[in-house]
Amino acid sequence: MKKFAASLALLALSLCATGAFAAQPEPWQVRFQSAGTAIMDEVAWFEAYTLWFITPITLLVMGLLAWCIFRFRASANPTPSRTSHNTVIEVLWTVGPVIVLLFLAIPSFQLLTNQYTPPEEPALTIKATGVQWYWDYEYQDEENPLSFTSLMLQEDDRAAAGKEDTSEYPRLLAVDNEVVVPVDTTVRVLVTASDVIHAFAMPSYGIKTDAIPGRINETWFKAEREGIYYGQCSELCGKDHAYMPIAIRAVSQDQFQTWYAAAQDDLEGANRALMAELESDDGEKVASAAE
């Protein structure tokens, strides 16, 4: 029994080490991607909450339509009613929707307020600029600024980049340079574009902001779990709109500081060192479980 439990633990950690914490679309997925922020948890809760209203209302309307079609068909009701007013019905279909809307509006406004109100002053600011068809990123640090371009990873470049594991670096979503952020840190994102309208969307973080030329929109997130998260440009921006992914890698504070310092001089080398450290950490977890 102990061996069986150990095998299960080993399998679970092995999955974690091979990209189980990569938040991305899954085959036959009907719900949201796994949440990486508290805001996304609220979004998922609100979606489930609204279903408690949408489902019975839909069934009620369908039932009333079916009943009216059957009860008042011409063969069963050759002489149609001339009723033009019913006070009870008028009150019900006025008061009922108002009550339902109040139950939806209050949590909706609370969620909207939270989405636009960071819990604290952002410790890190990143500017994301949409370009046909890639993203430019700038870490807004006066003393040690960092900027780079993030392009969709081509299949022929996987081996050279060390990103052959498609479970962690999926086709059409993986990029050559991920945005790296520390967990448990409020990050401000300034979103704009250099040519046409794009949109910066990260489903697992619950953010989606238009990137408009000549204008800067602001959003924020606070990653709660380490891992790599994927999004895409969500505004039709031209022929390669579908090939403009967004990738954010959340790591520990120490790992972020090490990566950021190294990236000042060698971004590619810093990325490789970070990936190697993460793979080593996952390997140690799997080995510990096996013991």
pLDDT on residue 286: 47
CA distance 89 to 86: 6
**CB–CB of 148/213 below 8 Å?**
no
Contacts of 38 (CB under 8 A, 6+ apart): 222, 224
pLDDT value of position 273: 93
pLDDT at 182: 96
CA distances from 141 to 120, 127, 228, 234, 261 (A): 18, 11, 23, 28, 12
Q: pTM here?
A: 0.82
- Sorted by where each begins, the domain ranges of the chain are 38-73+86-115, 124-290
CATH entry, 124-290, from 3.10.129.10, 1.10.533.10, 2.60.40.420, 3.10.310.30: 2.60.40.420
Q: Which two tokens stand for residue 149?
A: 């371009």
Residue-level pLDDT at 74: 86
What does the alpha-carbon distance between residue 136 and residue 127 come to, in Å, rounded to a whole number?
Answer: 8
Q: Are strands 146-150 and 179-182 parallel, antiparallel or unpaired?
A: unpaired
Query: Is the preceding peptide bond at 52 cis, omega within 30 degrees of 0?
Result: no
Q: Are 24 and 33 in contact (CB under 8 A)?
A: yes
- Look up tokens 């009907």; give the residue: 30
* 3-class SS string, the chain: CHHHHHHHHHHHHHHHHHHHCEECCCCCCCCCCCCCCHHHHHHHHHHHHHHHHHHHHHHHHHHHHHHHHHHCCCCCCCCCCCCCCCHHHHHHHHHHHHHHHHHHHHHHHHHHHHHCCCCCCCCEEEEEEEECCEEEEEECCCCCCEEEEECECCHHHHHHHCCCCCCCCCCCCCECCCEEEECCCEEEEEEEECCCCEEEEEHHHCEEEEECECCCEEEEEECCCCEEEEEEECCCCCCCHHHCEEEEEEECHHHHHHHHHHHCCCHHHHHHHHHHHHHHHHHHHHHHHHC
Lookup: tokens for 236: 């039709």
**Tokens linked to 227:** 């891992």
- Give which of 161, 178, 175 is closest to 227, Cα–Cα: 178
**Bridging pattern class, strands 207-211 and 124-131:** unpaired
Cβ atoms within 10 Å of 151's Cβ, excluding its own: 16
pLDDT tens, position by position, for the chain (291 residues)? Answer: 445 444 444 344 444 444 446 788 888 888 898 899 999 999 999 999 999 999 999 999 999 999 989 988 888 888 888 878 888 889 988 999 999 999 999 999 999 999 999 989 999 999 999 999 999 999 998 888 999 999 999 999 999 999 999 989 999 999 999 999 999 999 999 999 999 999 999 999 999 999 999 999 999 999 999 999 999 999 999 999 999 999 999 999 999 999 999 999 999 999 999 999 988 866 555 455 555
pLDDT for res 283:
56
Length of the chain counted residue by residue: 291
Task: Give the pLDDT confidence score for residue 134 in this predicted structure.
Answer: 96
